[in-house]
Structure 1
Amino acid sequence: MASDEGTVRVDSWIWSVRLTKTRSQAAAACRAGHVRVNGDRAKPAQPVRTGDEVRLYHAGRERVVVVSRLVSKRVGPPVAVECYVDNSPPAPAREEAAAVGHRDRGAGRPTKRDRRDLEQLRGR
């Protein structure tokens, strides 16, 4: 389970501690610039050490975690939680996330007035 070398690839670690569902999602997030290690943009193969701060923007929220244990293979949820210290801001409430301009199904294409109202709701 634990790696003896002292470093693990950042994409592998993110996947191993269940911050993303697949390793390819973790690698894609790194390539897109959504992963930062100690404030610097991370490539998928960048090594991660114990004590590093990893920032991941995934699924509409930012996760800020500090590495407390290195794992190279995917572990279960109880073990995964022990591998990092979560300093993430609280997740937004579901009501707030869903409140952004919702149209009824089958309502058709929005009119110009509807579009302007939606843009005003979104703050554009």
Structure 2
Amino acid sequence: MTDSVRVDKWLWAARFFKTRTMATDAVDSGKVRLNGERIKPARGVKAGDRLDIDNGSTEWEVIVADVAEKRGSATVAQTLYQETEESVARRETTAEQRKYFREPSAMLKGRPTKRDRRLIDKTGS
């Protein structure tokens, strides 16, 4: 393997994004930072670099362990990075919070009735 690869290719190969286009868009919009700096999609990433990644649903802080240009299996992708302990703790707390959050509209089917509207207003949602 090479010692440096484009960051958008690496993000795609490490399976943080479904497509390379999505990875490129995320880097362009500033959702991916290399060693704390905003970068461009063509920027090279090498082993030892720290990436802060926000893929829309989850925020990651990872250290690049290896580089790859081609997308492999999920088990291979997991060997490309090591997640920091702070990142793991943050993800676990957000996952725990999501368990207890219920979408208010999940209980309602269609348009709320007058009674449903009063219940919604009463609970403050």
CA deviation string 1:73-108 (max 9, x = no partner)? 111111111111012232413424x42433513034
Aligned to 1:63: 60
Instruction: Tell me the amino acid that sits aligned with residue 59 of structure 1.
Output: G
Answer yes or no: is 1:105 the counterpart of 2:109.
Answer: yes
Aligned to 1:33: 30
Q: TM-score, normalised by structure 2?
A: 0.78
Q: TM-score, normalised by structure 1?
A: 0.78
| 3-state secondary structure, aligned to 1:102 | helix
Aligned to 1:95: 99
CA deviation string 1:15-53 (max 9, x = no partner)? 001111111110111111100000001211111011000
Answer yes or no: is 1:12 the counterpart of 2:15.
Answer: no
- Percent of paired sites with the same residue: 31
- Please tell me the root mean square deviation across aligned C-alpha atoms, in Å: 2.4
Unaligned runs of 5+ in 1: 119-124
Aligned to 2:76: 79
Q: Distance in 2 between matches of 1:112 and 1:16?
A: 50
**Structure 1 runs, 4 residues or longer, greater than 6 Å off:** none
Change beyond 3 A, Cα 1:100–1:45: same
Change beyond 3 A, Cα 1:71–1:100: same
Answer yes or no: is 1:43 the counterpart of 2:36.
Answer: no
Unaligned runs of 5+ in 2: none
Q: Distance in 1 between matches of 2:44 and 2:30?
A: 16
The count of aligned residue pairs is 114
